[in-house]
C-alpha cells in the first residue's frame, strides 16, 4: 500500500498538465473573494457621532447664552444691583464709611479661629451677626422704597458699627478662653 512519494509526485505532474489554462486566474479570483469578503453585519456608529456633536453644540450654546444676571451690574460692597440705592451710592463720604466698616468686619472675621472649645460661643455671635445682616438688608430695602432720609442712613451706619463691635467683643472673649491664667491674674 505504501507508495513512493516520488511516484505520487510524478503522477501529479502529469495531472497538472491537464488543468485548464485559466485555472490559475480562477483560483486567484476565488482566493481574493474569500480573503476580502466583507463582514455580513457591519455596525455603523455614524449616528452616535452626530448625536454627540449635537449634544456638544447644545451644551456650549447653553453655557455661553447671555442671561439677565450678566446684564445687571452688581454693587461690589453690598452685592445688590447697581440701579438700587445703597449707603455707598448716596455720597462719596458714605461710600468710604461703608467700605471701611465692611472691610474691617471681613478682616476681623478672617482673624477668628474656630476650635471645638469655642464653637458654641462662635455660633452664638455669628447668629447675632446674621440677624444684623438681615436687618441691614431690610434697611437697604427701606432706603430704596421710602427714599433717602437721615434716620435710615444713621440706622445703616449703626448696624455696621454694631456688627464690628460684636466681632471685637467675640475676639476678646475668645482670647480670654484661650488664656484663662491671664484672666485670673488681671482680676486679682
pLDDT in tens, 115-127: 777 778 888 888 8
Confidence of residue 56 (pLDDT cuts 50, 70, 90): confident
**Structural contact between residues 151 and 95, judged by C-beta atoms closer than 8 angstroms:** no
Residue 26 has pLDDT above 60, yes or no: yes
* Polymer length of the chain: 188
Residue 69 has pLDDT above 80, yes or no: no
Confidence of residue 60 (pLDDT cuts 50, 70, 90): confident
Mean pLDDT, rounded, for 171-181:
78
Amino acid at each position: 500500500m505504501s507508495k513512493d512519494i516520488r511516484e505520487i509526485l510524478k503522477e501529479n505532474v502529469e495531472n497538472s498538465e491537464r488543468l485548464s489554462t485559466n485555472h490559475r486566474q480562477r483560483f486567484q479570483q476565488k482566493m481574493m473573494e474569500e480573503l476580502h469578503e466583507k463582514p455580513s453585519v457591519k455596525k455603523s456608529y455614524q449616528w452616535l457621532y452626530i448625536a454627540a456633536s449635537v449634544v456638544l453644540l447644545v451644551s456650549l450654546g447653553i453655557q455661553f447664552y447671555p442671561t439677565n444676571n450678566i446684564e445687571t451690574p452688581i454693587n461690589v460692597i453690598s452685592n445688590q444691583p447697581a440701579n438700587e440705592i445703597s449707603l455707598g451710592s448716596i455720597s462719596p463720604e458714605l461710600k468710604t464709611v461703608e467700605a471701611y466698616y465692611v472691610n474691617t468686619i471681613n478682616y476681623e472675621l478672617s482673624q477668628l479661629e474656630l476650635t471645638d472649645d469655642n464653637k458654641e460661643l462662635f455660633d452664638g455671635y455669628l447668629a447675632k451677626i446674621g440677624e444684623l445682616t438681615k436687618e441691614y438688608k431690610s434697611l437697604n430695602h427701606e432706603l430704596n422704597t421710602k427714599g433717602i432720609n437721615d434716620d435710615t442712613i444713621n440706622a445703616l451706619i449703626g448696624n455696621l458699627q454694631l456688627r464690628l463691635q460684636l466681632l471685637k467683643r467675640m475676639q476678646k472673649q475668645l482670647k480670654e478662653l484661650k488664656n484663662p491664667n491671664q484672666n485670673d491674674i488681671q482680676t486679682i
